[in-house]
Every structure is written in C-alpha cells, then in structure tokens.
Structure 1
Amino acid sequence: MRQIAIRGFINEKFNTPFGKGLFRRAIYNGSVELHNPNQKYLVDFYEYEQFQHTAKTNGQINILNNLAACGVANTPDLVMSWIVHYEPLTKSKQLVDGYCIYLQSTGEVHIEIEDVPNGTSEEWDLKAHPCKAVGANKPIFIATNVDLNTGSLSRS
C-alpha cells in the first residue's frame, strides 16, 4: 500500500460569491499526496446536499447512486469531495475517477482514486487527526497511513 497524506484546510472563501447568485460551498479545501510515485491531488469537501449537485460525469453519477443506496446521504457531519489530479509543474488540474469521504464527528476518512494514466488505482481508510496549530495556510486536520514520528508506514 502506498503512503498517503491528506491535509484539510478551512475554506476561507466559504459562502462568498463568485458570480451572480453563485456561492462557494466547499467547507474544506485540501491536498492529497501520494508517495512512490509522487502524485498530488486536490479535494474540496462539501456537505452531501451540495456535493450531489456537483456530479458532472456518468462515473460520478454512478458513485452517487451507489452511495445513496448505502444511506450515505443521511449521515450527519459527513462531507465529500471529488478528486482532482494536480500537476505542480504546469499547474494543471484534471478531474479523475474517485472520491473522498470525511466523517467530521469521528475523523474517519475513506478515499478512492482511480487514475490509471498517473499510476494510481487504490483506496484507503484513514483516521484524521486535528492539528494543534491552526491558522492561515495551516491544516486543521491530517489523515495519513504514515507514522508522523518515525516516517514509516503505519499498519493500523
């Protein structure tokens, strides 16, 4: 299993307008970093009510149907995101198959990434931990399968 780290930040632009009658609804923004090979992805976490309206592809609609069948829509404190591949050199962003679920009350994170062109086709179940120092440009939570004290892969 590859090493992964997800950092979540408070969306400072939450509920601000970006067009006539359009508002930013993502509660958290974040980054997903994978090791061997190194890949970076971006996430924008929405409450399920807003998230379901962001589906743009047939694959995303299928994911929503599967999640609805599992009763995810009725789970309190749940936020979700689609996965966007980020290429730092060109600063290009490309939507990929997959999603991330973050259950705020328990800190549980489930992420699935299906990005074959960039060598990623995996899923992870992680535990998010709140960060001690929060503020501008500092994450409020981190979820990883790496022991942050030793840098080795955690087997939990």
Structure 2
Amino acid sequence: MTTPPPLLGTLETALYAADLDEACEFWTRVIGLELIARVPGRHVFFRTATTPRPQVLLVFDPGATAVPPAPDARLPVPPHGASGPGHACLAVAPESLDRWRAHLQASGIAIEADFHWPQGGRSLYFRDPAGNSIELADPAIWAGMPPRTADPDCAER
C-alpha cells in the first residue's frame, strides 16, 4: 500500500435543506455568510473563509442532488444527498462566542448546548431551519488532540 499525498484541508462542507429560500435567508441574514452561487431548486453556496484558502458551505436540496446527471451534462457531478439532520461546525474567535450567543437568541434561534470541552475551547450548538445541527466553536477544541497512528478500530487493510 502507498502513502496518500498530503491534504490541504477541508474545501467544502455540504448540508441539505428542502427549502433553499429559507436556507439562503438563514445563512446570509442570521449567520452573515456571503452568497456565492444559487441555482433555484438545486442549491445555494456560501463563502465561509478566504484565507488561508477558500472554504465554502454548500446547501443542496436533497431531492435534486439525488438525481444522476444527464449523460451529456456539462458538470457530471455524481448523485449525492443525505436524509435526516447533518452537522457542520464553523470556527469563531473564542472572545466572540458570547456575542454570537446573544445574536442568535435575538434572532430567535434556540441554543441547544453551550459548553467548554475538557481539552479546551467552547462550543455553541443550535439548529438551522432545515434541522441541521450547527456548531460555532473555538478552534482550540481540536488543537490539543494528538494524532493516532496505531488504532485497532481503524486497522490498515
């Protein structure tokens, strides 16, 4: 077996929502993301970061993306989708979490959890209009996690 080449990080995160207008309203007005692409009945895409490299949140209508592309499609993206709520976590500065909590509550968004992780950092959890679990977190929640090189539950094959 060969060693995989290095990754640069996560470029896209996908969530699914049947009501794309509601999703667009939530992600632009409540969360403040920039809308970068919209195809009615199929998807809305948002920029979440530009540095050190672009990162985007893709919100698809699961019914539209479950359909295979036409044989002559310009962009032959394979079918994909999910049923039930998904999860996405957006990194925020730790000093902004109290402001985020107040902003979400003022926007009528219920906070499901707000806690400090044992390894450091804090997370806020809430739901988007489609029921996806959304987390805003201090990046420190993952900073102290050592790599696992030999894990019997994830054995090499």
**Higher helix fraction (1 or 2):** 2
Bin the TM-score by the shorter chain.
under 0.3
The two structures have a TM-score, normalised by structure 1, of 0.27
**Higher strand fraction (1 or 2):** 1
The two structures have a TM-score, normalised by structure 2, of 0.27
